[in-house]
Amino acid sequence: MLTFVLLAAGLVALVLGAELLVRGASRLALSLGISPLVVGLTIVAVGTSSPEVAVSVGAAVGGQTDIAVGNVVGSNIFNVLLILGLSALIIPLAVNAQIVRQEVPIMIGASLLLLTFGLDGRVGRVEAGTLLALLVAYVGFLIVQSRREQQAGADAAAATGAMPVDKPATRNVPLQLLWICAGLGLLVLGSNLLVDASIALASAIGVSDVVIGLTIVAAGTSMPEVATSIMAALRGERDIAIGNVVGSNIFNILGCLGLAGVVSSAGLPLAPSLLNFDLWVMLAVAFACLPVFLTGRTIARWEGAIFVFYYVAYVAYLILAAQQHDALEAFSGVMLGFVVPITVITLVVAVSRPAARPE
C-alpha cells in the first residue's frame, strides 16, 4: 500500500512541476530574447535530466555501473519512442527546421561517439571527460546562436521601420526563475518517489540491474520529460516539447555519462548485453528521428503510434530475454521478419511524398 501511495504522490508532483517549469521556461525565453526551442534544448532539458544525473552518478559512485549506463541508454530510448510518441498522439508536433538540420544530427553523433568509446567494453575517465567538454561547447554554441538570430531579427525589423516587439514579461524574470526552480524541485521529488517505489517492486520479483536500469529506472527518471513534453504539447509549446526530448538525449550522453564516468575511479564498464544490443537500439532510435521528422516536418499521430508500439515491443523483448522465455525466438522473428520491414517501407513512402505542411 505504501508503494502505491508513493507512486501516486510522485505522479502529482510531476504534473505540478511540469506545469510550473513549462510556464516559467516559455516566459523566460520571451524575456531574455532566447527562442523557446533553445530553452527546451538547454534549461528545460538539463532540468528534466537532473534525475538521470543523480541516479547515474550515485550508481557510478556506488559501483553499480550497469544501472548508471542502463539508465541513460534506456532513458534515451524511452524519450524518443514513448515521450515523443505520446505527445504526437495528443497533438501532431510541428518540427522546427533547426531540429532536423542541427540537433538530430548532434544526437546521432553523440550516440555514435558513445558506441565508439564503448567498443572496448568500457568508457574510460578521459573519454568521459571528453563527453563533458563537448556538452559545455554545445550549450555555449546554442546560446550564442540564438542571440545572434534574435539580433538579426531585430536589425531586420529596424531596417524596415517595423515597431519593436514589447517584452512584457521582462520585469518578471525573478518570478519566472522561481517557477522554474519550483518546477524542477517538484519534478526531482516526484521522480525520486517513482524510482524508489518502482525499484522496490522490481526487486521483489527478481530482475537484474541491467534490466532495472533500462526499464524501471530509465522510465522513472524520464518521468519529468514525460510530464514536461506532454504539458508543453497541451499548452501549444511544441518547440519546448520536442526540444526537451532531443536536448535531454544529448545531455544524457554527454552530461550524465560524462559526469558519471569522471567520478567513477574505474570508468564505466559496459555489460555485454548493452554493447551488443541496447546501445544499437539507442542509435537506431536516434536515426529513426530523421525520416519521421522529415515527413512534412510534422510528427503525425500515426508516427507517434509507431513510436509507442516499438517501445512496448522493446520492453517486451527485454522481459522475454531476461526470463529466457520460449516465446523469445518467435517474437524476434516476427519483429525482424515482418514488423520492422513494413515500418521501413511505410517511412520511405512517407518521406518520398511532397511535404504536407510548410516549415
Catalogue all structural domains in the chain, each as residue range(s) with its CATH number: 35-155+218-352 (1.20.1420.30)
Q: What does the block give as the cell for 21?
A: 517549469
Q: Are strands 122-123 and 268-269 parallel, antiparallel or unpaired?
A: antiparallel
pLDDT, residue 110, reads 94
H-type alpha helices, the chain: 2-32, 36-39, 45-48, 50-61, 65-78, 85-90, 97-98, 104-117, 125-159, 173-205, 209-212, 218-221, 223-234, 238-251, 258-263, 272-273, 279-294, 301-322, 328-334, 340-352
pLDDT, residue 357, reads 46
- DSSP characters for 59-81? HHHTT-HHHHHHHHHHHHHHIII
Pick 170 or 45 by higher pLDDT: 45
C-alpha distances in Å from residue 359, one per residue of 94, 172, 175, 290, 346: 8, 32, 33, 15, 22
192: left (phi over 0), alpha (psi -120 to 50) or beta: alpha
pLDDT tens column, 242-285: 888 888 899 899 988 999 899 887 788 888 888 888 898 899 88
Helix (H) or strand (E) holding 269: strand 268-269
Query: Do 271 and 66 touch, CB atoms closer than 8 A?
Result: yes
Say what percent of the chain tops pLDDT 70: 74
Q: What does the block give as the cell for 166?
A: 514589447
pLDDT(114) > 90: yes
Average of per-residue pLDDT values in the chain: 77
Closest CA to 312 of 111, 156, 85: 85
Residues in the chain: 359
pLDDT tens column, 264-275: 877 888 888 888
Please report, to the nearest 10 degrees, the dihedral formed by the alpha carbons of residues 72, 100, 242, 240 taken in order: 120
Q: Assign 359 a pLDDT band (cuts: 50, 70, 90).
A: very low
pLDDT(47) > 90: no
pLDDT, residue 347, reads 57
Q: What does the block give as the cell for 186?
A: 517538484
Distance CA 28, CA 33 (A): 8
Return the bridge partners of 93, or none.
299
For residue 122, give the 3-state DSSP assignment: strand
- Give whichever of 132-146, 173-187, 287-301 has the largest mean pLDDT: 132-146
pLDDT tens column, 68-109: 888 889 889 988 888 888 888 888 877 777 788 888 899 999
Query: Do 252 and 83 touch, CB atoms closer than 8 A?
Result: no
Say what percent of the chain tops pLDDT 90: 9
| Amino acid making up residue 81 | L
pLDDT tens column, 208-238: 656 766 777 777 777 777 777 888 788 777 7
pTM for the predicted model, two decimal places: 0.77
pLDDT tens column, 140-199: 888 788 777 766 666 665 666 555 544 444 557 788 888 878 887 887 777 677 667 766
CB atoms within 10 A of CB 241: 31
Q: What are phi and psi of 94, to 5 degrees?
A: -70, 130
Closest CA to 252 of 45, 4, 99: 45
Query: Do 243 and 49 touch, CB atoms closer than 8 A?
Result: no
pLDDT(127) > 90: yes
| Burial class of 121 by CB neighbour count within 10 A (0 to 12, 13 to 18, 19+) | exposed
Query: Do 260 and 60 touch, CB atoms closer than 8 A?
Result: yes
Distance CA 152, CA 167 (A): 17
